[in-house]
Amino acid sequence: MQNADTTKYIIHSKINADGIIERPDIVGAIFGQTEGLLGSDLDLRDLQKTGRIGRIEVVVNAKGGKTRGTILIPSSLDRVETSILAASLETIDRVGPCSAKIEITQMEDVRATKRHQIIERAKFILTGMFDENLPESQEIADQVRQSVRVEEMQYFGKNKIPCGPAVFDSDAIVVVEGRADVLNLLRYGIKNTICVGGTNVPPEVAELTKKKDTVTVFTDGDRGGELIVKEMVQIANVDYIARAPDGKSVEDLVQKEIVRSLRQKVPVEQVIDKYSTKESEEKSGRVARLPKRKDRRGSEVKRVTPPKVQKVGAKEASPATERSKTSKRVSSRERAKSRETEEKPAKRAKEITKPSPASAKFKPHATDLLGTFSARFLDGKDKVVNETAVRDLVNTLKDYDSEVKTVVFDGVVTQRILDIAADKGIENLVGAKVGSVTKRPASVKVFTADAL
């Protein structure tokens, strides 16, 4: 029809004639009636000889004594020349013996059509061919990555507990919930991990924690993770607690989130009250002591009132009576001592937490730090000279050389912090709560935030 290499535009037109005409009649009328109309530069014969106008295509249909058809003229001229040539076709008013009318219906840009075809084809290639190949390559990468991770995973103990290869030799371990958590941490190069498989912590893991220098419990940010932390604190040796962001699981965390969660780990002594392990320890201690008391009372009764002693004469009964009185005095003395030892910690705690009239100036600092797990260092004029996280409080106090008279922090006052404060000449310690303190330096005053 036309040379596809040179054609830029196609002139679409329709013809209506009052009579019967054929294709040669229409082509002859186009060449004959436009000859010399537009000058030598746009003469159709010359343009066709030079290839700037392609072969004229005509399709006609005669019906009822009238002829209707379409005319297609390919052009490699520019837009202006093609428009002029198209307008000249509408000047034709006669074809053969019949009157006729030619009307331009469309100017088709062949390059735009090609662009549309290119776009449609590119869409098919992009969505069809690339999508078909992508899952295969992705699947290969996942298979290779999974195989490496599975090869790195080891198993601990008789129950084949999933763990990382560094658990056996490393002094520090990370305890997570399940096998998927171990795999995710292995993916990012953390190889000293071991899982507990749920809230029922295996005895092997509890024993392993007692042999390691540093044990970090890293659980999901949900209720189940909190229950696992409570159980681990009770039966295992735990140093730090790390939690995933609220609502997220360790197996779904990316590297940045894992590193952030482990960096924000909190010493277990600072959050021991949150997991309410003291009450359980007290209950277990009372239950453990009760059988001993019953045994002791039973033994005393057997010694004091045996049936045979009561039937013997007064001389033989008196030594037994004296022994029973002596044992009663001893037992009452022991009970009195136990009451004194039980009262002393209570008195000591009361002395530690008793507020002072001068301590009201620390109240704003304690209020600001509430829920932040942070600490503030105050100088002799009660001005803030440094701030740090509670998890770094011990190390910061050891290395701090400037003047510090007061430390206010959102955490538990422990014996270790008290000893360091005494060595550093710190006069006041303000914490959220007071932990297990057996010896309080006289130079350090201890307050709690809720008592200020």
Q: pLDDT, tens digit, for every residue of 217-230? A: 999 988 888 888 88
Please determine, for residue 11, whether its predicted confidence score (pLDDT) is greater than 70. Answer: yes
Residue 156's φ and ψ, nearest 5 degrees, are -110, 135
Residue 70 pLDDT: 95
449 compared with 314, residue with greater pLDDT: 449
Domain 154-270 has CATH 3.40.50.460: no
Instruction: Please list, residue by residue across 314-341, b when 16 or more beta carbons sit within 10 angstroms of its beta carbon and e when fewer do.
Output: eeeeeebeeebeebeeeeeeeeeeeeee
Residue 408 pLDDT: 92
In a 3-state reduction of DSSP, which class is residue 60? strand
Please report which helix (H) or strand (E) contains residue 155, including its range: strand 154-156
Q: What is the pLDDT of residues 351-389, one digit of tens each?
A: 454 566 667 888 888 888 887 888 999 998 889 999 998
Q: Would you state the CATH architecture of domain 357-451?
A: 3-Layer(aba) Sandwich (3.40)
Q: What is the pLDDT of residues 30-74, one digit of tens each?
A: 999 988 888 888 888 889 888 899 999 999 999 988 999 999 999
Residue 90 pLDDT: 92
Please determine, for residue 128, whether its predicted confidence score (pLDDT) is greater than 60. Answer: yes
pLDDT band with cut points at 50, 70 and 90 for residue 305: very low
Distance, CA of 395 to CA of 400 (rounded, Å)? 9
Domain 9-112 has CATH 3.40.50.261: no
Residue 150 pLDDT: 61
Q: What is the pLDDT of residues 134-148, one digit of tens each?
A: 556 666 666 666 665
Residue 436 pLDDT: 75
Instruction: Please list, residue by residue across 274-285, b when 16 or more beta carbons sit within 10 angstroms of its beta carbon and e when fewer do.
Output: ebebeeeeeeee
pLDDT band with cut points at 50, 70 and 90 for residue 131: low
Q: What's the predicted TM-score (pTM) here?
A: 0.39
